Amino acid sequence: MTDKRELQKREAELEKGVERTRETRVYAPAVDIIEKNNDIVILADMPGVDENSVDITLEKDLLTIYGKVEPEIPENHRLVVSEYEIGDYQRTFTLSDEIDREHIRATVKDGVLKLVLPKAERAKTKKIPVTGNA
Amino acid sequence: MRDTYLERFPDPWKEFERMSRLLSRIASNSGKEFPPVNVWVNGDNAVVTTEIPGVDRDKIDISVSGNTVTLRGSRPASDIKEGESCHRHELRHGNFSKTIELPFNIDANQVHAVYKKGVLYISLPRVESDKPKKIEIKSE
């Protein structure tokens, strides 16, 4: 890991006028978004989250992921070095019409959420054969 | 008659101060390295926790030497084939290595590590021979 990327998690942005009800920090998970031929794949780092603690909601064009983290604190231990903080995760993505919304799949493994957004049939890349004669 | 002052030896407050000094020095050195860690202490046991999502459990290497513990691991880059494109590339990939110094020598045989939900928990007890001993003074 030679890059000098920021080690600290970025706090999630809140819409104006919206307040949180849970007394916890909320971070925007780092993501990779990869466009494949038939799907768009979103990978989001959400350490502390498993398949039971992540919520995915789709409202109109907005796809929101929310991961709830229950911090596991070593019993009877005192925190003496703190280089990272623990909190929930939230991030919202805008979807285009080209996504088949009925078939979005989500899995979580080792704290990484994987969302597979299949492209709608008409949005898939089509190879147009080029023929020699007009 | 028992001497209550000697019974309190070694002074727990001094011990606490010594640990705090050591740990704050450690923290200032290691804070810039990936992965960030939290260190928890309870007397003769330390717990190091760190968030390293997406790492294969078999690719995590923990080694202990004296009062240091070294974490090594690697995370493969997202698989992108020809014709595919990456719109966002924020995840951290590649190798990492970080050494954490504890204020006591570690009993390497008693170290326990658990990796779940992308979080690594390592329990590191102090080696018996390193624990402060109370010296009994016998009267002749």
Average pLDDT of span A113-131: 82
A7: chain B residues, CB-CB within 8 Å? 31-32, 34-36
Q: Mind giving me the DSSP string for A97-118?
A: TTB-GGG-EEEEETTEEEEEEE
A72: chain B residues, CB-CB within 8 Å? 49, 119, 121
What is the per-residue pLDDT across A15-48, written as a single tens digit (0 to 9) for each? 777 777 777 899 999 999 999 989 999 999 999 9
A49 and B54 within 8 Å at the Cβ level: the answer is: no
The beta-carbon neighbor of B88 closest among A31, A73, A74 is A31
pLDDT, residue A1, reads: 45
Query: By mean pLDDT, which of A2-16, A118-132, B18-32, B46-60 is the weakest?
Result: B18-32
Nearest to A99 by CA among A127, A66, A61, A126: A61
The beta-carbon neighbor of B90 closest among A31, A49, A76 is A31
**Distance between CA atoms of residues A115 and A112, nearest Å:** 10
Domains of chain B: 4-130 (2.60.40.790)
Check pLDDT > 80 for residue A97.
no
What is the per-residue pLDDT across B72-90, written as a single tens digit (0 to 9) for each? 999 998 878 888 888 899 9
A84 and B51 within 8 Å at the Cβ level: the answer is: yes
- Provide the shortest C-alpha distance from residue B112 to chain A (in Å): 13
List, as ranges, residues 78-107 from A with C-beta within 8 Å of B.
78-84
pLDDT, residue A110, reads: 96
B78 and A46 within 8 Å at the Cβ level: the answer is: no
Domains of chain A: 25-72+83-121 (2.60.40.790)
Amino acid at position A91, single letter: R
Percent of chain B with pLDDT strictly greater than 70: 82
Check pLDDT > 50 for residue A57.
yes
Q: Mind giving me the DSSP string for B90-134?
A: -S--EEEEEEEE-SS-B-GGG-EEEEETTEEEEEEEBPGGGS--P
Confidence grade of residue A4 (pLDDT, cut at 50, 70, 90): very low
Query: By mean pLDDT, which of A37-41, A72-76, B31-35 is the weakest?
Result: B31-35
CB pairs under 8 A between A and B: 132
